Amino acid sequence: MPPRKSSPVGAHVFVAGGLTTKGLAYAERIGAEAVQVFVANPRGWAIPADDVDGDEQFRSACAERRISVFVHAPYLCNFGSPTELTRERSAAAVRHSMMRGARIGASGVVVHAGSAVDAGHRDLALKMMRELLLPLLDDTEGLPLLLIEPTAGGGQALAATVSDLAPLFDALDWHPRLGVCFDTCHAFAAGHDVASPGGMRRTLNELARTVGRDRLHLVHANDSKDPLASGRDRHTNIGAGTIGMDPFAEVFRHPAIRGVPVIVETPGDVTRHRDELATLRKLRDR
């Protein structure tokens, strides 16, 4: 798929009932130029049976329509957990997401940065993440990139603020197949004042300085229901929350975002999401 000069906009789409018949059909109805999907239960550990034909159909259809594809790993994944079983299941879930992501033509697999759970165990949590993730990154050569998504900041987060990414990437040796998914709601909840004039630009500048512009591969464009530094991950539609509309125009003007897909993970139906993507395109193209 040739690179776009401007950022494609799209949405997380639900695929219960089939990647193509449900997920792609919804994406087309809302005018998505990019999609994010789950390829397993987002709140469970069970790995579903393969659907090779269905995956190929989805991959081919998205490629034909020039729709960028991303996979979100299950929410339960936490490589910093003090529980060994949770760490092992996290590795298995992410491996499955990467393998199936390759089959459906995904560019990246998003995984939350995770948590040390217990205060004072951050260094140990990063060490455990290293032990599991480095072999996974090495063993899945040629598969989608692994995109670390900083979280909203609660519960001993391993990476919430942009500066938190540096020690996490250090722990993973700045692996060449490691990237970042930037979530606007998470950043605001973690204390980055992206709602103030120039705040989004300053935050993205800091992100580019911390990990490098070439590490940013996906943006989750979500407004927030809660105030700055709330530590709460509650998304709402763009312009309907405490971030407001103007900061999302700053997203598209930032040089680090050029060509990077921008996905919404917001509530709503077909009409709401179609209108929201139309708004994003206006912000992008003005």
DSSP 204-236: HHHHHHHH-GGGEEEEE--EESS-TT-----EE
How many angstroms separate the Cα of 57 from the Cα of each of 67, 237, 270? 13, 31, 23
Q: What is the dihedral of CA 71, 59, 144, 147, to 10 degrees?
A: -30
pLDDT over 70 (residue 152):
yes
Question: Which amino acid is it at 42?
Answer: P
Active site residue 233: yes
Between CA 55 and CA 219 the distance in angstroms is: 24
**Which one-letter DSSP state was computed for residue 12?**
E
pLDDT tens digits along 103-125: 999 999 999 999 999 988 999 99
Active site residue 183: yes
Exposed / middle / buried, residue 56 (Cβ in 10 Å: 0-12, 13-18, 19+):
middle
Question: Which amino acid is it at 197?
Answer: P
In this structure, what token pair is assigned to residue 73? 């790993």
Between CA 100 and CA 40 the distance in angstroms is: 10
> Residue 224: CA atoms inside 13 Å, Cβ hemisphere, count?
25
What pLDDT is recorded for position 119?
86
Active site residue 122: no
Q: What is the residue-averaged pLDDT of the chain? A: 96
What pLDDT is recorded for position 144?
98
Between CA 107 and CA 71 the distance in angstroms is: 8
83 Cβ contact partners less than 8 Å away, ≥ 6 residues apart: none
141 Cβ contact partners less than 8 Å away, ≥ 6 residues apart: 177
pLDDT over 70 (residue 220):
yes
pLDDT over 60 (residue 1):
no
What pLDDT is recorded for position 234?
98
Active site residue 186: yes
Active site residue 220: yes
In this structure, what token pair is assigned to residue 221? 């464009």
Active site residue 84: no
Q: Are 219 and 261 within 8 A, CB to CB?
A: yes
Active site residue 75: yes
Active site residue 88: no
Whose tokens are 């995956």? That residue is: 55
Q: Annotated catalytic residue: which of 12, 87, 89, 220?
A: 220
Domains of the chain by start residue, with CATH: 9-285 (3.20.20.150)
Active site residue 12: no
DSSP 65-129: HT-EEEEE--TT--TT-S-HHHHHHHHHHHHHHHHHHHHTT-SEEEEE--B--STT-HHHHHHHH
210 Cβ contact partners less than 8 Å away, ≥ 6 residues apart: 162, 163, 165, 166
Between CA 232 and CA 227 the distance in angstroms is: 9
Q: Annotated catalytic residue: which of 149, 223, 250, 276?
A: 149
pLDDT mean over 214-219: 98
In this structure, what token pair is assigned to residue 284? 């992008």
Active site residue 276: no
What pLDDT is recorded for position 3?
43
pLDDT tens digits along 19-74: 999 999 999 999 999 999 999 999 999 999 999 999 999 999 999 999 999 999 99
Quick count: other Cβ atoms within 10 Å of Cβ 12?
A: 23
Q: Annotated catalytic residue: which of 112, 177, 215, 284?
A: 112
What pLDDT is recorded for position 80?
96
Between CA 30 and CA 281 the distance in angstroms is: 12
Q: Annotated catalytic residue: which of 186, 217, 281, 284?
A: 186
Grouping H, G, I as helix, E, B as strand and the rest as coil, residue 93 is helix
Q: Annotated catalytic residue: which of 56, 265, 272, 274?
A: 265
Between CA 161 and CA 157 the distance in angstroms is: 9
